């Protein structure tokens, strides 16, 4: 019977929090930071910790939230279970983010073509510089030999 009441109150809490959230706002900020259960008597400040810039809640949402906060304040075990559920959800999200980051990094290392491009570019640049060096030297030698031959032939005459 107690578990049914916990479940029902959790549903109410979640619906209350969901309706109090403005569209696109950060969700579960308290859970994300791993914060502990709200202390008894601090219920009035709890919503501010969940959403620093709350939209103006409707009267229905205020009622639901109040019901949930009262339930949590009256039963510390229930409050702890709510926080634990939120923490678990946040941990799952963190795990998923970490896994995605590792998967992305893995794919980046496996498929990265940047180093291949750098390597091939270096190869062609070195080859081109060497060919240019050879060609230029050959042209200079040809010119110098031709000039010298001409001078020698002129001197021989």
Partner 1 sequence: MNKLVVPVFGVLAAVGIAVAVWLVFMQAPLQYGFHPDGALNGSSLFYNQKIFYFHVAHAFMLFAAVFVSGVCSIAFLKTRKPKWDDVAMAATEVAVAFGAVVLVTGSVWAKAAWDVWWNWEPRLTMSLLLWLVLLGYVLVRRFAGPSADRIAAGMAIFGMVGVPFIYKMVGQDSHPAAGREGVVATLGPGMRAAFWISVAAFLCWFVALVVARVQSARAERELRELRERGLDLGVLS
**For binding to partner 1 (CB under 8 A), which residues are involved?**
109-116, 118-120, 122-123, 126-127, 130-131, 134, 137-138, 141-142, 144-145, 148-149, 151-152, 155-156
Q: Cβ of residue 111: shortest distance to partner 1, in angstroms?
A: 5
- Spatial separation of the C-alpha atoms in residues 121 and 99, rounded to whole Å: 34
Q: Cβ of residue 97: shortest distance to partner 1, in angstroms?
A: 23
Q: CB neighbours (10 Å) of residue 40?
A: 12
Q: Cβ of residue 103: shortest distance to partner 1, in angstroms?
A: 15
Alpha helices (H) along the chain: 2-20, 29-32, 46-50, 59-74, 76-111, 114-156
Cβ distance to partner 1 smaller for residue 63 or 144:
144
Q: Please say whether the beta carbons of 75 and 16 come within 8 A.
A: no
Q: Cβ of residue 66: shortest distance to partner 1, in angstroms?
A: 55
Cβ distance to partner 1 smaller for residue 39 or 122:
122
Cβ distance to partner 1 smaller for residue 18 or 132:
132
Q: Is the dihedral of CA 45, 47, 49, 54 positive or negative?
A: negative
């Amino acid at each position: 019977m107690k578990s049914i009441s916990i479940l029902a109150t959790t549903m109410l809490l979640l619906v209350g929090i969901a309706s109090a959230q403005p569209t696109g706002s950060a969700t579960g900020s308290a859970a994300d930071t791993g914060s502990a259960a709200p202390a008894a008597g601090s219920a009035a400040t709890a919503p501010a910790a969940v959403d620093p810039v709350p939209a103006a809640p409707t009267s229905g949402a205020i009622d639901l939230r109040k019901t949930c906060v009262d339930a949590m304040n009256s039963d510390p075990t229930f409050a702890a279970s709510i926080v634990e559920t939120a923490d678990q959800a946040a941990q799952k999200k963190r795990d998923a983010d970490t896994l995605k980051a590792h998967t992305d990094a893995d794919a980046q290392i496996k498929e990265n073509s940047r180093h291949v491009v750098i390597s091939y570019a270096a190869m062609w640049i070195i080859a081109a510089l060497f060919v240019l060096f050879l060609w230029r030297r050959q042209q200079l030698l040809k010119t110098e030999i031709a000039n010298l031959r001409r001078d020698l032939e002129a001197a021989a005459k």
